Amino acid sequence: MGIEVARAHGCVVVDKNGTEYLDFLSGIGVASIGHTHPAVINAIKEQAERYLHAMVYGEYVQEPQVRLAQRLAEVAPSPLSVTYFTNSGTEAIEGALKTARKYTGRSGFVSFFGSFHGDTFGSLSVGGNPLYREPFEPLLPDVTFLPFNVTTALDSIDETIAAVLIEPIQGEGGVRIPDDDFLPTLRRRCDDVGALLIFDEVITGFSRTGKMFAAEHWQITPDIMVLAKALGGGMPLGAFMSTPEIMATLSTDPPLAHVTTFGGHPVCCAAGLASLNFMLETNLPQRAQEKGQELLSQLRSLVGHGEFTNVRGRGLMIGMDFASPEATKHFVQHCFAAGLILGWTLHRDTVVRLAPPLIISTSEIDQAIAIMHDALH
């Protein structure tokens, strides 16, 4: 898009010429509480004046890390009460994969076609699009890919599998929402064969889908939950959470089985805590659900125009289907020229992804719909 960013606040990004763009992408799902939220900025300033990096993660007691981990333990599905902080989503995936291997003593991983989990070697190895994997092979061995949302395929998960990794709603795969029985069946299958279930909630977490975590839609508790993006309130922060028993595996044989210098940076954790507190104080999951309904119902009335064929979503994670890549591109470019930022997904060039800040107002939704309406006619 090439915007030269001068400022960003709330749902708006401003370029160096003063042109304002309505941001329906949130830096790919990061700015859930809006850009440069005052509570986050204050927390950053306060912590920056106290200390920045003081020691590698876990060696000293650094209060912002402890406070954020405590808050996460309160909001995550029980019994996921222990958090390991990283700098990014892909690092958190790496940590989760390593933990699962060491805890189970097994080597195999199962992932799903269309998934995206990051671009470091381990995460790429479990990424469900061969186009991005093949140039970098050989990758991790013992990874099996299954079709997303095909319940019968889950029977092939067996006792060799350390963990099954899944996005509860696929993001880059085209905003794919599984049928009601898919994830509960997967949970049961993992229990039956003793494989850990890892939910990648990097995009879906922190109110995006109308719940604090998408797992809540199916009343499922994964064994490990991976977080990033909106976690840091705009600062780089990732995490994986699990039970005390599973996480203890990283503390022994060898004692420092997984370390990071900058993971859980105090300034990022202070920002993350301010962001999470704002979400809780304003009941942001509920708000995302209501605004998502508003947006979705207006989008439904546009289906059938300009090769726009279908729309689906949970909360404010919404996918619009188009009949061709050309129509998709034309739509996104037209909207952009009119001041609305939207995006493709990485693996589906006929899906437009909408992920506005969850604080979006009705008038901003109306403004976006008017632009989309024009782009389709």
Ligand X SMILES: Cc1ncc(COP(=O)(O)O)c(C=O)c1O
Q: Per rule CB under 6 A, is residue 347 in the interface with ligand X?
A: no
Q: Which is nearer to ligand X, 89 or 319 (CB)?
A: 89
Q: What is the DSSP-derived secondary structure letter of residue 31?
A: -
For residues 47 and 310, give the distance between their C-alpha atoms in angstroms, rounded to a whole number. Answer: 46
CB of 124 to ligand X, least distance (A): 10
Q: Which is nearer to ligand X, 82 or 92 (CB)?
A: 92
Of 194, 247, 239, 218, nearest in space to 79 by CA: 247
For residues 210 and 200, give the distance between their C-alpha atoms in angstroms, rounded to a whole number. Answer: 16
The burial class, CB within 10 Å (0-12 / 13-18 / 19+), for 15 is: middle
Residues in the chain: 377
Q: Which is nearer to ligand X, 345 or 371 (CB)?
A: 345
Binding footprint of ligand X, residue count (CB under 6 A): 16
List 10, 89, 174, 222, residue binding ligand X (CB under 6 A) = 89
Give the SS3 label for residue 317.
strand
Q: Per-residue x/- marks for ligand X, 203-232, CB under 6 A? A: x------------------------x----
Q: Per rule CB under 6 A, is residue 200 in the interface with ligand X?
A: yes
Residues 6+ away with beta carbon under 8 Å from 247:
82, 84, 99
Q: Which is nearer to ligand X, 267 or 355 (CB)?
A: 355
Q: What is the DSSP-derived secondary structure letter of residue 188?
A: H
Number of residue whose CB is nearest ligand X: 89
Q: Per rule CB under 6 A, is residue 202 in the interface with ligand X?
A: yes
CB of 60 to ligand X, least distance (A): 25
For residues 41 and 240, give the distance between their C-alpha atoms in angstroms, rounded to a whole number. Answer: 25
Contact range with ligand X by CB under 6 A, out of 1-9, 82-90, 207-215, 361-369: 82-90
Alpha carbon 370 to its chain's center: 28
The burial class, CB within 10 Å (0-12 / 13-18 / 19+), for 171 is: buried
For residues 321 and 174, give the distance between their C-alpha atoms in angstroms, rounded to a whole number. Answer: 9
Q: Which is nearer to ligand X, 204 or 289 (CB)?
A: 204
Q: In what order do the strands lie in the sheet with 317-322?
A: 308-314, 317-322, 351-354, 343-344
List 24, 84, 116, 145, residue binding ligand X (CB under 6 A) = 116
Q: What residue type is 109 in one-letter code?
A: F
The Cβ-side half-sphere exposure at 2, using a 13 Å CA radius, reads 2
Q: Which two tokens stand for residue 324?
A: 């061709």
Q: Which of residues 165-194 bind ligand X (CB under 6 A)?
A: 167, 171-172
Q: Which is nearer to ligand X, 228 or 371 (CB)?
A: 228
Q: Per-residue x/- marks for ligand X, 24-63, CB under 6 A? A: ----x-----------------------------------
Q: Which is nearer to ligand X, 40 or 237 (CB)?
A: 237
Tokens 């619009």 belong to which residue? 320
Q: Per rule CB under 6 A, is residue 88 in the interface with ligand X?
A: yes
Q: Per rule CB under 6 A, is residue 272 in the interface with ligand X?
A: no
CB of 115 to ligand X, least distance (A): 7
List 10, 34, 118, 205, residue binding ligand X (CB under 6 A) = 118
Q: Where are the beta strands (DSSP E) in 174-252?
A: 196-200, 224-227, 238-242
- Cis bond upstream, residue 356 (ω within 30): no
Contact range with ligand X by CB under 6 A, out of 8-16, 58-66, 86-94, 322-330: 86-94
For residues 332 and 336, give the distance between their C-alpha atoms in angstroms, rounded to a whole number. Answer: 6
Q: Which is nearer to ligand X, 196 or 376 (CB)?
A: 196
Q: Which is nearer to ligand X, 202 or 376 (CB)?
A: 202
Residues engaged in binding ligand X (CB under 6 A): 28, 88-90, 93, 116-118, 167, 171-172, 200, 202-203, 228, 238
